[in-house]
Structures are given as structure tokens and as C-alpha cells.
Structure 1
Amino acid sequence: MKDSVIIVSGGLDSITLLYDKASTIALAISFDYGQNHGAKELPFAEYHCHKLGIPHITIPLSFMHQYFKSSLLDGAAAIPEGHYEEENMKSTVVPFRNGIMLAIATGIAESHELKRVYIANHGGDHVIYPDCRPEFISAMNGATEAGTFVNVRVEAPYTNITKADIVRRGAALGIDYSKTWSCYKGSDVHCGKCGTCVERKEAFADAGVNDPTVYEE
């Protein structure tokens, strides 16, 4: 039964969840908030939704680029290099991004009498992103259930697993990961040095799955 909405970026995690839950998804939503890599990742979201026959929309959130402070909104040169566990990677946080997106997706879900909103945060995100942590997902779920007539649920099935686990799941589903985007710099190919690139490399290596990504280095 198609009773859910999914937030899909075009990245590895959300594309895996898209395939994982495809039989239940009535609508996929992407957001263009002025992210450095939007021109690279958003077309992949559209590509996979079209491939699966899932309706897809992209909602512009230009106010975030105008008013929010994050290196993810300030161009490739502003993106630090290194692992997510390093302090400098906190500059890539877009304040309360997932809260804003979940609120919009919930409103759309209720407007279409859909019961669930999927989001693909995972265990590795918890280090620096407060709006990816289990307590955040639990709190948002409480708010969406209480604040809608149809008691919309936020479901984040990857919250307590690793990115390597996600890669294994995607490989089993036959996903072409060359048609996903992670790099925060948004150049022609993945830089291989920013936090998301480092995490992507590690995930494929830990999962024992061939990494089809083209990196600059």
C-alpha cells in the first residue's frame, strides 16, 4: 500500500531507502535550499524516482541560503576537508535542516492523506548533526503524530545502522551507486577529501562492495 512520502536528496543513503521502501512510497520530495552540490545530487533523485515510477517533486527553500549560516551554502572553497569526527566539520551543519524538511513533508503527507514520512539519516551522522540523532527523530515523530489529523509518523529505519550497512543493503537491491552524489563541494567529480567523500569511501571499503565513484585524487 502506497501510504508514505520520502525525503530524497540524490545521495547514497536516501536513494537506498527509496529502493528499500519503493512499494510503499506515493511521493518523493527533494529540497533545493542552495546547497553547494544541489546541481549534482538533485538530478540523481529525479533519475531514480523516474526509474522506479515514483512521482517526484523538488521544493525550493531559497530562504535557507539567504538567512542560514553553513559552509554547505557558501561554495566549494568553504567546505573543510577531513573526517566527520573532526571539529572543523561542524561548519557543514545546516541548522535544523531536517526539522524544516520533515515539517514540510509532513504537511504534504497529510494533504494527501498519507501516513508516513521516510528520512534516511544513519548512525554515522550522529557525530556532528543534532537533527540526525535518535532523540531528534523520536521528538519529531511525537510532534507530527500529535500535530496532524492522520497522525503522520516519521520513520527513519537507518538511524541505528552504519553507512556500510546501507551500502550492503543497496548492493543487494542492485542499486547503481555511480548515479548517486555525496561530495559537498559539488565539482564535476567527487573531491575525495571532504567529510562526505571520506565517509563514502570508508562505507564501500567496510561493506566489501566495489566503489564505482570517480574521485579527483
Structure 2
Amino acid sequence: MVLLSGGIDSATALHLEYRRGAVLPLYIDYGQRAAACERAAAEALCADLGLSLDALELGALGTAFRRGHEWQAHVPLPHRNLAVLGLAFSYAADRHARRLCVALNRDDTTAYASAATPFLDAFRRLAATLDDIEIATPLIAWDKAEVIRQGRSLGVNYAHTYSCLLGRSLPCGGCPQCAKRRAGFAEAGHTDPALAGE
């Protein structure tokens, strides 16, 4: 199973896992502002490989977390990866998957506590007490630029990916995720097909 957000990293992980054999892509809507655009990207990425996308529709979760502080518009869940990984692990167990692929890259491990090595190690230990499902992080040694280089070699269509936090049909180009995306493509020496028309 691949946790597929529709972004650069998960698109690359999807192609890596596809080459390993049968793969089940999973999208989770937890009320993030960009959910509709992310899901459309995930659907397009799956279509590229002839795959069907499974989805968990939990938008009400984000609504509940926003209550009382509506300014928290983009990613409403504190420690998001803990919640998302728990849900994905449960779904993987329900679908009898033996491997759950999480598309975290090297940059993520220093940017977010819930993507750092101690968290991942702790989650793996906890998961192992429940089921024999491997928690795989195949991109963890690569920075964003290397993910893009590897993805291009795998044939990932990055025009079908979406990273913007704002959830607009055209990426804003200025939010933190768009900035990381822009920097990654620049370092990789390639033009970002999603931002090429600016």
C-alpha cells in the first residue's frame, strides 16, 4: 500500500512500489484545505499506471479540529503524520497489505517532529506489536531534488502532481510547499511542469 497525497514524493514512491509488484494507492482526506486538488492529482497519477485509488473521506475531522480557531486553514491536524499513519496502518491491515509505503524524504526528517527518525522508529515498534506490516520509507535518503531526479528516471508525470497548500486549481507558487517544490526542481536542473506557465 502507498499513502498517496498527490505530491512529488508520493508520486515517486508510487512508481517505485509499482515496479515491485501489486500496489494499492490510498488517499486520506482529513479536512486539509487542498484535499480536492490533492485527490484529483492522486487520481491522475493512478490513471497513469492503470491503478484505482482507494480513499478515506474524513473531511469532518478537519472541521472538528478547526472549531474555535478557524485560522488553521491549511493542515488542521496537529501531529498530522501520527493520525494519518495510524489510519493508513489500520486500512493496510484491513486490506491484508504486508507493506505500507510512506513517502517521506530526507528534508522531511528535519522539518517535522512527526517525520523524524525517533518518531518513525517508535511508530514501527508500536505497529509491530499489532500486525506484521512493514513501514517502508524508500525516499528517506533523498532530498527533494534527488526525489525528482529519480522520479523522472521512473517516468513520473510531475504535471499530474499537486503540492500547494491553498487548494486553488493553479498553484500559488508562494506557500511553503510551493517554495520547496520550486527549489527542488531548480536544484534538480529541471522545469516544474506545474509552475511552468507562471
TM-score normalised to structure 2 length:
0.88
Conserved? CA contact 2:32–2:76, under 8 Å: no
Conserved? CA contact 2:62–2:77, under 8 Å: no
Aligned-pair CA distance for 1:32 = 0.9
2:164 alignment partner in structure 1: 183
Query: Which stretch shifts more, 97-106 or 159-168?
Result: 97-106
Instruction: Please state if 1:207 is matched with 2:188.
Output: yes
1:9-158 aligned at under 5 Å gives the runs 9-22=5-18, 23-68=20-65, 74=73, 94-148=77-131, 151-158=132-139
* Partner Cα separation in structure 2 for residue 121 and residue 93 of structure 1: 19
Distance 1:103 1:126, change over 3 A: same
> Match of 1:206, as an amino acid?
E
Distance 1:155 1:93, change over 3 A: farther
Conserved? CA contact 1:49–1:56, under 8 Å: yes
Q: Deviations over 1:67-91 (max 9, x none)?
A: 335889526xxxxxxxxxxxxxxxx
Q: State the secondary structure of the residue aligned to 2:23.
A: strand
Distance 1:207 1:27, change over 3 A: same
* Partner Cα separation in structure 1 for residue 111 and residue 144 of structure 2: 15
Structure 1 gap ranges (5+): 76-91
Distance 1:186 1:71, change over 3 A: farther
Aligned-pair CA distance for 1:187 = 1.6
* Partner Cα separation in structure 2 for residue 143 and residue 25 of structure 1: 26
* Partner Cα separation in structure 1 for residue 72 and residue 47 of structure 2: 28
Fraction of identical pairs, as percent = 29
Aligned residue pair count: 195
2:146 alignment partner in structure 1: 165
Structure 2 gap ranges (5+): none
